[in-house]
Amino acid sequence: MELRYDLAVIGGGPAGMAAALRARERGVERIIILERAEKLGGILEQCIHTGFGLHYFGEELSGPEYAGRFIKEVEKTDIDVRTDTMVLSIGEDNTVTAVNKKDGVLKIHATAVILAMGCRERPRGALQMAGTRPSGVMTAGTAQKYVNIDGYMPGHKVVILGSGDIGLIMARRMTLEGAEVKMVCEIMPYSGGLTRNIVQCLNDFGIPLHLSTTVVSTHGRDRLEGVTIAKVDERMQPIPGTEEYVECDTLMLSVGLIPENELSVAAGVELDRVTRGAVVTEMRETTKSGVFACGNVLQVHDLVDFVTMEAQTAGEGAAAYIRDRSAFDGAEYIFTKTGPGVRYIVPQKVNIHAPEDVKLFFRVGAIYKNARIVVKADGERISDKKHVRLTPGEMENVTIKRDTLKHLSPDSILSVEVEE
Amino acid sequence: MAENKVTVMTCVTCPIGCTITAEQDAEGNVISVKGNTCKRGEAYAKTELTAPMRSLTSTVKVRGGRHPVVPVKSRTPVPKARMFDIMAEIAKVTVDAPVAAGQTVIADVLGTGVDIITEDSM
């Protein structure tokens, strides 16, 4: 089946829905959302804890509630939604090929495409862990689906490796459901999760957090029987003699998220080496004309509220592109550059004639106390702000004034750095 | 005479997670709160030291729904000390589909004055 749309949005999670809605508000008429699952909402469906929406709605919602608000908004519009639909490729001319049981193969000719596929968890295979391969080893998100969607407990005695937010949330969830969560081990000397989650998910239940500690081996033939943990040195190598056996039937991994960019790469979109998401402009246009990216497929966010806001930017970008693509194709860009202490910056490119102030989002590489975030344009300081605390687990941002951009030339460099 | 007690805590009201220092007198009354960046932080510190409260979420069984369980939450935070008792009450409940989002599944759970409501339709 061949279809013609102004905008095709790939992924119907919080990013895809917010991007489609904003594009619709900005006058884009024919929009389609393509979603792999049976319903809109993405991963929020299984995130039944609260804490979503404090920034965007000013109230504390659960994941399903947050998603529900956007699903309702989408339903009120004439945006077409195809669920149970898998996108196979994005062609040269932004033709999206997708497949589902009802329509068979769909060829969607779109002027613009928004990538909103989200991310997935780093699996066990990505870790160097010795030992047997019994059942009972799973990612925290898989465990979350078992408990919150399928309604069954994946185990009784749990060790969690990695202190990312999903791992912390699952430590609490499993404890409340009667499991014994023995510990959370984190290979880094600091936690990758939000401080509030350490407090309300671990401290509240007396679950110990072991920093600079990892799981070196699993034991058990059919079912996991235990793990060996060990302290690690500064180079993150296990320290001989610090091994300790911990009995458990479940090992949950919360060791990072990876943007799901197979489609983007196949379509010729350039990725950032650090974020593993697309290289984008301030409107979230990728290196492929008319293809935009937002949400966790672009950079892994801490809060869905920021996913929504980023998706709205991409929706505005796509709407502007559909209206007049010449403004995009002929734009003059400068590159952002990470200075000392900063791991990455999104966007990587900024239009020097941007009509509005531009926010740069970034993460620092270590924990800093009373440090300054300094922005420089061609080596000259343009802003400087003191932060009581900076941590890699929390995304930061700085605003670049439109007036500042105006004075830059296409070969200027805008850098962000940490000054101690 | 007993001395004033100083507690350092992380506010869990929102993801900013301010570090708050609160001082209590010998009777346990909170006499000062510092380090919070909003009013909610002050309120949090006071309740945290006197009667800590937490949002509680879980699932209840559903018959004939899209999934075997539907997510539920306490409409407002519940006493931290009663979380496990409330979990036991939630475990007893089964609802029949269709279920609307925001539907009460347990009214005034264990006399706390807080309802347990659904988060999603099912």
Which one-letter DSSP state was computed for residue B97? Answer: S
Structural domain including A336 reads 332-420
> pTM here?
0.93
User: CATH number for the domain including A279?
Assistant: 3.50.50.60
Q: Are residues A133 and A244 in the same domain?
A: yes
Q: Is the CB of B80 inside 8 Å of chain A's CB atoms?
A: yes
Instruction: Give Rg (Cα) of chain B.
Output: 18
User: Cβ distance A38 to B122 under 8 Å?
Assistant: no
Interface contact flag, B120 A51, Cβ < 8 Å: no
In whole angstroms, give the CA distance from residue A254 to residue A347: 27
pLDDT at position B2 over 70: no
- AA identity, residue A299: Q
Kindly give, in sequence order, each residue whose CB lies less than 8 Å from that of residue A158, ignoring residues fewer than 6 positions away. Answer: A171, A174, A179, A180, A181, A182, A248, A249, A250, A251, A252
Q: Are residues A14 and A109 in the same domain?
A: yes
Final residue of a domain: which of A330, A362, A378?
Answer: A330
Which residues of A are less than 8 Å from B68 in CB distance? 150-151
Query: Looking at residue A129, what is its pLDDT?
Result: 81
Domain boundary among A255, A271, A300: A255
**A172 band by pLDDT with thresholds 50, 70 and 90:** very high
Torsion of CA A419, B41, A303, A148, to 10 degrees: 140
Mean pLDDT over A226-250 rounds to 97
pLDDT greater than 80 at residue B14:
no
A191 shares a domain with A43: no
Is pLDDT at A408 greater than 70 in this prediction? yes
Compare CB distances from A200 to B54, B71, B119 and report the shortest one's residue: B54
Residues A146 and A246 both lie in one domain: yes
Q: What number is the average pLDDT over the span A392-415?
A: 90
Q: Could you tell me the pLDDT band of residue A281, with boundaries at 50, 70 and 90?
A: very high
Is the same domain home to A102 and A171? no
CA-based torsion, A13, A18, A19, A25: positive or negative: positive
For helices A165-176 and A140-148, give the axis angle rounded to 10 degrees.
40
Q: Are residues A6 and A109 in the same domain?
A: yes
Cβ-based contacts of B80 with chain A (< 8 Å): 204
Question: Average pLDDT, stretch A99-105?
Answer: 96
φ, ψ (nearest 5 deg) of residue A71 = -60, -45
Residues in CB range of A279: below 8 A, 6 or more apart: A270, A271, A272, A286, A287, A348, A349
Q: Does A52 share its domain with A167?
A: no
**DSSP class of residue B120?**
S
| Domain-ending residue, one of A272, A302, A330 | A330
ipTM of predicted complex: 0.91
Structure tokens at A178: 């009667």
Q: How far is B29 from chain A (nearest CA, A)?
A: 22
Q: Is residue A197 domain-shared with residue A248, that is, in the same domain?
A: yes
CATH code, domain carrying A370: 2.60.40
Domains, in order of start, for chain B: 5-50 (no CATH), 57-118 (3.10.530.10)
pLDDT over threshold 90, residue A287: yes
The reply to whether A302 and A268 lie within a common domain is yes
A314 and A281 in a single domain? The answer is yes
Report the domain count for chain A. Answer: 3
